[in-house]
Structure 1
Amino acid sequence: MDFCDDGTGNGCACSFLNKSSAGLCTKCSKLATLTKGSTEYDQWKSFKQCESCGIAWKNLDSTKCRHYTQNLVRTAVETSRIAQSNAMEARLAKQPIASQQLHTTARLLAARNNTSTGESTIFITAQCRIKTTSAKDQKNTDPSYGQWGKPWPKDTYMSGNMAHYYAAPGPSTKKAAGMQPKLSMALELYIDKPNTLNFTLGSTVVRKQSATAMAIDGVPLGKCHAVLNAGGRMESTFVRTNRSNNSGVDTSTVIQIKKTHTTCNTETGEVEIEWPENASVHEAVVGKDIFASGATKNIYKLSIGSDLYVAKRFFEIGTGVEVTADENKSNLENELIRLKTAEWFLSKFKSQAKEYGIEYLSDITVSEGFLVREIGEPSPASSLPSFKEDTAVWLVEPHLYSGTLVHPNRTDKLGKTLSAFSHFAHRISTL
């Protein structure tokens, strides 16, 4: 199909890898309808032609059409993202340096137990540096203040103000603190010395053994003691600093959204989606950078209050052109209908399994997705122009989701249950 040929020897016989139909290319098809030697024939023959799809236009200024150029950019971005992901995984899988001094019980136990990082955990360490007027002291951490380390699941992440602030740490910068690697995050702890001293001086020390109390300035007490204060425990507060060069400050957008009302008929499985005008308005935060991407949809991080989600939108629906707001909305509604239908199938599957006394894994659930619409000007993540108000639509699902590109070959109870469910859904959908 990529060759320009009509089967009779006509055409330029050039190969256009992305030609949309068999036969002659656009240019040869047009020339075949014109008289050779005419002015229009000579004009069309001089028009530039896309080397990828074979399209030819009067105002085409290069041998690459816009669609071909966008595909090249998208391919380059995806290739770069995959390379960065592979490099990141390789770095995160490295073991902590064995020669590091271990000053805490947690680090010693980790070393004794040979705690390692794997596919699901990352070993994170914390080190201290006391800020002084000496520039030399700011370049390295001081092991004498101790080090702390612990393996953390990769799906553990911060929320709230700190999550927004550190959403995307910037590249290494050379400041008074010295050059920092990309996989480190600098946190400055400021201690209110006057309040700390007042807190300490106003405290009482209670001996656990005798329950007697005395002032801090009194005689030394035994090892078993507790410090009490009438004003309560000291608190720490996160204060955002004004650092314009930190890209993490501007990696998300605060948006106003309305949710859909979705119902599924328990008898027929028919799904209805409504967009009520009087729906409650919620404040949400959506990331500007793509969190993950598939063949048709881009995924962004989204938070509504303290709940964390992922938001999906279409960027490709098979037409080869940019997806409009209406097309994105229609396709996302179809995605949600499929989710709710799968949930209905699963409910029927469990009911029949119980009825026939068949054992199955009961923990299987379907992602609790829902649709939201942005109110007002679209966010940068939606890729819609600013004048397209109230048109950005997202499919929102809980953050803990799993990929569906590769079907695992499982022989355990989970695998058998999923296999039985897929056969059940196919059978009941064809009745």
Structure 2
Amino acid sequence: PTGPSKPPGLSVAESHRERTDAVRQRMKLQPASNHHAGLSGTSLNTATLLAHQSAGGSPGEQKAMVCWQVRVSNNPKQINNDLPYGNKPWAYSVWLSDIKEHVLQQIAGDWNRNGAAPLKTEEVSFRWSGNRVFEKDTSTMKLGDFVAFHQTPTMSFYLEKVPPVWKSHAKGKAPCLCFELYVDHHSYSKRLRKAARHRAGAASDSDGSDEDDDPSTDAMVRSMVRGAPKRSRPLEDSSEANKPTIQKRSDITLKQIKCIVNNENGQYEFEDTNVVVKGAIRDKPFSSGAMKHVYDLHGLDGKSYVAKRFYRISENETAHDPLFDDEESRIAATVPIEDNEVQLQCKLARLAWGRWFLQKFYAHARSVNVHVDSDIAFAGAFLGKEIECPSRASGVDTIDEDTKGLTWLIEDRRPQTVIRFSGTLDHRTLRRDLRSATISAFAHFVWGASHRNFVFADLQGTPHPVRGKDGLILFDLMTHSLAGDTGVGDFGREGILTFLRDHSCNTVCRDLGLDRSMPLEFAESDNPQSSSGEDEE
């Protein structure tokens, strides 16, 4: 069978074509045919990729005023006067974690002044004014749910305490929330010390002795945490930034396809659910990664979704292609519809695998009575194949017997804040908290539970309620497999070797017995010519 015909002006590497065919065969998909050589993409161009305006919410949506100042843990008794403060109205539908990320970006310029290393989102948290911590399991709420929780008689005292600097804002009709962005300077400094040790080539043990007093890195850390000039100033969004932009949508009708995993052996298959999802999708993406665009989708069922599609499927083949030199070109970029569908099927299968392995991991932890972070879950998702009339975002002119509709990966809308735990080829852990240790141990468990056939990479998540608690939703992961056929980003044996090289067992790994039962080496049958150590050389 032949693959899709090559579209004019689009260079697709033969190595990638072979990989796509291998993935198609592995997943038992129908071979591509020439009459399905449609393109995914959009014919709509724009001078710039418009920023997604989550702060405003829907027209007429209720809002609350969020005011903030900064407190740093190395001087916890007072507000930090070196850093700015500010206030802004936010829609009830916005996640608190996204508001926190916005505030973090607001102080970044002053914090990074004179060369200080940037803060990470997991090193800061919201607190109430007066350094009062949030009630348990409220920090991942949407703003409206958070306000409703604190308007109850037993919680209203949080809203009633207003610092003098915000008294005028508290007189308005909208609820006024007076927060502090609390910077965990201890965790921040510890991360810099560990990073410095890695750069210095020092042996690293993720559960070794405390490094806080290591004189070899103290000077470097001090140079990276120098403060800004002592000047406190208010920050408010400029009128230009607050100007509303006109966003356009088109109707979209999707046939829902889910990935079903056999609970006994982990084998998966795709199932047409006979469910049709209707909604309206933005014409332009609100976010773009190295290979995918992300669009805002409002369902007629009242749910908010994100819709993802590939605009390229190999970094190497377009590394020096002028097609990707600017945002306008990236929005208009295309890949064959068949290839987009196959790779999205791989993405959905990875999420399904993740959920299956996580269930097994938690079951193992319970069986040996080991405490792990149990408030972690994988994102729910499905494939949506356009039927009837194509959306403008798809770039497809018509859907008929000769042209298939574009396939999208559809996920529930989540906060945009992302916490990363590993990269594609970098699996080192620089944090020691229970959540990081649990995810690192989970990655080790997957290596052993897959009979040493593959590993998870690019483990990342967003703060989100999980079973009513402040949890984490993992999404958009990658895999490296011995066969190298699990989709874009699978570096095969080379990718697995990076995990075996980087992973260092922590206390969770050892308490679960993974260091003994699941060795970080290839099975003998998978390594007939040399040991893994010789290969790494």
Q: Larger relative CO (CA 8 A, sep 6+): 1 or 2?
A: 2
Whose radius of gyration is greater, 1 or 2? 1
TM-score using structure 1 length: 0.45
